[in-house]
Amino acid sequence: LWAAACAGLAIGIGLYEVAVLGEIMVFIILNVLHRLDFRMRKSARVVEAYVELNRKTPLGDFIRHARRNGIEPRDIQIENENVMTNNSVAFIVTLRAKDKRKRNEILELIQQIEGVSFVEGL
């Protein structure tokens, strides 16, 4: 938003070259940062995920199984409206791997835990 406003001001006072150069720089920077962000998220040890457990699976069992697989669940958020939808318990959890793993590996390990019916990375 600020970049567009600055380009508009530059064009308004007749500095067309400065406006075009500035917008090209903004475009390049945003593309580079987007790629860098993607690479960092792909190999991050911390993943935030939406998880649904079968109604019969206690949350404590999920936590114990995750810890056995080298993943530490943190910041579990259960919201009242999500608590028993479709015979499952839904929550958002921050997962931290003890060793360096790819994001997809962490989500696959969580999906393989007994009682987990759905996992989605956020």
CA distance 63 to 66: 5
> What tens digit of pLDDT does each residue of 79-93 get?
665 455 567 788 899
- Tokens at 100, concatenated: 């360096």
Positions of the chain with pLDDT under 70: 43, 79-86
Could you say which DSSP state residue 81 is in? G
What is the torsion angle, in degrees rounded to the nearest 10, for the CA atoms of residue 83, residue 89, residue 91 and residue 95?
Answer: 160
**H/E stretch holding 20:** helix 16-42
State pTM to two decimals. Answer: 0.64
| pLDDT of res. 43 | 67
| pLDDT of res. 21 | 92
| pLDDT of res. 81 | 59
Average pLDDT score over the chain: 84
